[in-house]
Amino acid sequence: MSFLRLSREYMREGYTEIDNVFFTGYLPEADSLDVKIYLYGLWLAGTGRETDNSIERISLSLKVTEERIMRAYAYWEELGLVSISKSSPAAVIYNSVKTPVTPVVKYNAKEYADFVEEIRRIFPERELPSQDILKYVELMRGYKVEQNAMLLIARYCRDARGTTNTAYVLSVAANWAKEGVHTEADVNARLDELESNAGAVKSVYEAMGLRSAPTIEDRETYVRWTKEYGYGADVILAAARYCRRHGGIRKLAPYLEELHNAGVKTAAEAEEYRKRKEAARDLAEEIVRSLGSYYASYDMPTETYVDPWLALGFESGALLRIAKFCFIRNVRTLDGMNVYVEKLHKLGIVTERGIENYVARQTAIDARIREVLAACGSDGIVTARDRDFYRTFVETWGFEHETVLRAAAAASGKPFPMSYVNKLLLIMKENGIRTPSEAEAFLSDGNKTKKKPGSELIRQEYTAEEITSVFRSLDEVDPDEEEV
């Protein structure tokens, strides 16, 4: 028998349907692993492959224990999204999220009499409806939270948050339970931890220029920074001082996560990271200004463009030189500049000196091309097509510059002179003529000894596969990216 099945209302062919109700009503409050198990099981239930439809398959694919899988389904059963059979082995039936089969929770009134009396004493200003009491009982049963532990959590929410909202108290209790807080001793330990950090959290607020009191969430987040990230107060304060000028309190958590992902462990490393980050931001502003553009905030340009460019090994000076070059070429956006950055990186040119040498080489080549154009009788500017022609003449065909000049002189007065030079050099190449003197003699001889291209071509039969391979290789050649 399949471990997972869909109810008739949920059956669809060709795709796995997830109703928007799941995203809006269930996903935000659920644990990420519970969601992962629910969605994977939903897909598996709809595949119809009974041999692979098992709890072992889920355990192997998601790398979680079978016990953890059943805990997840127990959670979804409480919400009515699945039903777990009493058979052995158990089967899980997915219910429609629009018509969940919420189990009727019955509890022994005598067993919870003291709890109900105490919870109402904690919130005397409002009469707790029976539905709220039922929600408390459901959570305690589902997460195995002791009654005294739940009372301590409720009292803490009232005192620290000033709230009597049942949903909020239950949210805190559920989050703590997922972190292993189930007993009265667990809650006391968590409260001691939060209280011991109260002064540190207040210092963070002061470092950010905030006068309001820290919330429960702020204290819990601080604990997470110290436990998960291993950060001391000095690192967190350093981050707080930075965020005071860059986004405020809402940026503190993302910035600390950024530090953690960057491998920052000490306050000194955090300070060095801050300096590099601010230097990159200043560089981004200078680059944008060199392009003749403007941004209200330079966080996005820094993260999207400058940081990746620096990670590629580009020097700051090199990037500024590229920006000025782009401005001259009427490229005014970072995205447009990125095209040149990527090309130069492929050429291995990432330093300011490398950029200068590259520009010097290209300038020298343009000067030679202008000589060729002058010999043709043209005084126009050097175009990309002219550069392509000259690169073919010199680098691909191997002609000396002086030989190209001889052909250019012969093309003087011709329409489209560079195309005519191309034709002459192709004929010379076919005739094995390379040196300037050979070209001079050849061109002065008129048409008497010229061979037509291909007149002595040795013909060879090629297979369709060989022809396809040759032309595919030719399509992949990019001379611009091969020149260093």
Mean pLDDT of each 10-residue bin along the chain, 484 residues long: 57 68 83 91 75 81 90 85 83 80 63 89 83 88 92 90 82 89 94 82 87 78 85 90 85 88 90 91 95 90 94 94 86 92 93 88 88 89 88 94 94 90 94 91 67 43 39 40 46
C-alpha to C-alpha distances, 54 to 10, 49, 59, 82, nearest whole angstrom:
19, 10, 9, 16
pLDDT of residue 454: 44
Residue 101 lies in a domain: no
- Tell me whether residue 471 is in a domain: no
Same domain, 76 and 20: yes
320 and 367 belong to one structural domain: no
> What is the chain's alpha carbon radius of gyration, rounded to the nearest angstrom?
37
Do 361 and 340 belong together in one domain?
Answer: no
In a domain, 477, yes or no: no
- Residue 232 belongs to what domain range? 197-265
Considering the domain architecture, whether residues 361 and 442 belong to the same structural domain is answered as yes
Whether 259 and 323 map to the same domain: the answer is: no
Residue 133 lies in a domain: yes
Contact predicate 231/273, CB 8 Å: no
The last residue of one of the domains, among 178, 195, 212, is: 195
| Among 177, 195, 213, residue at a domain's last position | 195
Tokens standing for residue 274: 């801050």
Q: Are residues 157 and 216 in the same domain?
A: no
Domain boundary among 215, 242, 265: 265
Same domain, residue pair 219 and 166: no
**Domains: count for the chain:** 5
The answer to whether 252 and 240 are in contact (CB under 8 A) is yes
CA distance 211 to 385: 66
> Quick check: is 99 in a domain?
no
Same domain, 342 and 418: no
Q: Which residues touch 330 (CB under 8 Å, ≥6 apart)?
A: none
Where are the alpha helices (H) located in 212-351, listed in sequence order? 216-228, 233-245, 249-261, 267-290, 299-301, 307-311, 316-328, 334-346
125 and 188 in a single domain? The answer is yes
| Within a domain: 9 | yes
Q: Are residues 163 and 118 in the same domain?
A: yes
Identify whether residues 317 and 236 lie together within a single domain: no
Residue 270: inside a domain: no
Is residue 313 situated within a structural domain?
yes
Estimate to the nearest angstrom the gap between the alpha carbon of 168 and the chain centroid: 33
214 with 165, same domain: the answer is no
